[in-house]
Structure 1
Amino acid sequence: MNRFVAGLVVVVQGLVLSACATSPGKDAPPPPAEGAVAVDAYHIGVDDIVQVNVWRNPELGITAPVRPDGKISVPLVGDVTAGGHTPEEVAKDIETKLSAFVRDPQVAVILTDLRSHEYLSRVRVTGAVRQPVSIPYRPGMTVLDAVLAAGGITEFAAADRADLHRNAAGETGAYAVRLDRILGRGDLSTNFPVAPGDVITVPERTF
């Protein structure tokens, strides 16, 4: 009997661990909003200010904004594409090009002003709302705040089938938002806090 009980405990523990590891379903709350940008994974954008430092060669360093064509000009090597790349990728590209002029160059690329991040930090509301909008994210903003900024829903909206779309770790998840309950009953259980880059979609009813 003791062996049976011990075995049953192990099975139950395994089921619990398996359930905890399962990814959240469509109706699960979205992950907490992240207020900070992971600079190591940040992709440089137009108007961002970058600082390029070359070890033992300070005269080759620059601080400059990324041009509309996504490039910066670096002494000796000329134009280097920065837009769409991480600081580490840009540094390696500059090192490769500088190696024709400098022995064993060591380059560091530092972001000093994330000007393009304002665009990435917007929250968008689309679909059956009175005025689809793209609004700047602010701490504490919720789904209801964003929908009200869009003028509310139209008479054709399927408010019970709205979704919050969020990209996390390279994967986009959809989370059910019951706008009918939020607006009609004051039920705020799905009035999730939004995060930079979120998209709220409100479909139309099918007749």
Structure 2
Amino acid sequence: MYYRFSRPGFAGLRLSMCLLSIFVSGFCAGTNSQEISAPAMPSATAAGTNHPVPPVLTQSGDVNGADSAGVLRPNDEILMTVYQEDDLKSKTIIDVDGMVMLPLLGQVKIGGMTLGQATAQIQQLYNRDYLVNPQVNLIVEKFAARRFAVLGQVQKPGSFDFPQNEPVNLLEAIAISGGYTRLGAPAKVSVRRVENGSPKIYRLDADAIAKDQKKKPFEILPNDIITVGERTF
């Protein structure tokens, strides 16, 4: 069986095919268009300046410098730097009153503080009157001499220096002095310490401390005087 297309119907079919071809061509052209990337954002800058935001300086708590007792003391030699403020760089020594002399600030008391506390104190003072968001870094370049004494029934009684940047506990102090003599009594140990201007004596059982692994060791502080008593028979 054969079908005959009328002329008007065939013309309509050709028109539909032309329109479809135009639509497909336009779609393909659209897919070949280039993508436009977003403009790069500018890097962060400090408010009101052309300088990049400084990195956060952490205190390697700490240890750019806490001493054996964890605090800054007279005769410690301190180096202070301020980020992008080279003219404020200063090397100073803590005096007997715990004071240091710093650029612009004058005398500032940091004795008795940890390194982190002293850094925060100086940063706050600069921020209050002179700088916007200052980044202060403190380093203890040289520690003042720290000494303790061990007397009584030990092999080498005398005065000893603290290992730099390290704490010393009671058992370590006795070991540094050579250990007990034959007459030494570990249960009769005393530590004389000055606290708030007044002497205080701690009576300790070093033998019990050595056996109790869970107990926190008794920490020795600068100028402590340890005395090991004599054994009674």
TM-score (norm 1): 0.49
TM-score (norm 2): 0.45
Q: Which structure has the greater CA radius of gyration?
A: 2
Q: Which has the higher contact order (CA 8 A, sep 6+)?
A: 1
